[in-house]
Amino acid sequence: MSLGEVEIGELLRKRGLTLAVAESCTGGLVSSLITDVPGSSDYFLGGVVAYSNEVKESVLGVPGEILRTVGAVSPECARAMAVGVRRLLGADIGLATTGIAGPTGGTPTKPVGLVYIAIAHARGIEVRELRLSGSRRGNKHSAACEALKLLQDFLQG
């Protein structure tokens, strides 16, 4: 557990906000980091590990058109995942990750290490693109930490 997760928890609790997480490439790591903080049930409602496109579409409501045209590793998909998990779990904030952790799965246009993280809240949606260059485990960890940084930036703003 780092000071970041603790501070995020304090900020969520102080503002009376709840959080839900939709994860693909991070495989539940963001949720794990959030729940490492004692008392996180005060603000963390839950998460969905939507690894397959079918789950992204049927559970999170990612439009099939997005998955067919721009794919799961796209800012559009990250945005839809964040909005979908926020709606699904009734949270104030939805946080999402989607990308290619590696070492396989990359293409010339979508290389290994390409990750999109998104946050959806009452004031809008923000998406960030990451270009990571570590091992699979390193990329998952870096993506999860960047997702938490995006959340922390929002809460501090």
Give the CATH number for residue 44: 3.90.950.20
Cβ proximity of 15 and 43 under 8 Å: no
Strand order of the β-sheet with 93-99 is: 44-49, 19-23, 93-99, 114-121, 124-131
CA-to-CA dists, residue 137 to 27, 64, 157, angstroms: 11, 29, 30
Q: Are strands 44-49 and 19-23 parallel, antiparallel or unpaired?
A: parallel
Residue-range definition of the domain harbouring residue 141: 3-156
pLDDT tens over the chain, length 157 residues:
677 999 999 999 999 999 999 999 999 999 999 999 999 999 999 999 999 999 999 999 999 999 999 999 999 999 999 999 999 999 999 999 999 999 999 999 999 999 999 999 999 999 999 999 999 999 999 999 999 999 999 999 8
Domain count along the chain: 1
pLDDT value of position 152: 97
pLDDT value of position 1: 63
pTM over 0.75: yes
**3-class secondary-structure state, position 3:** helix
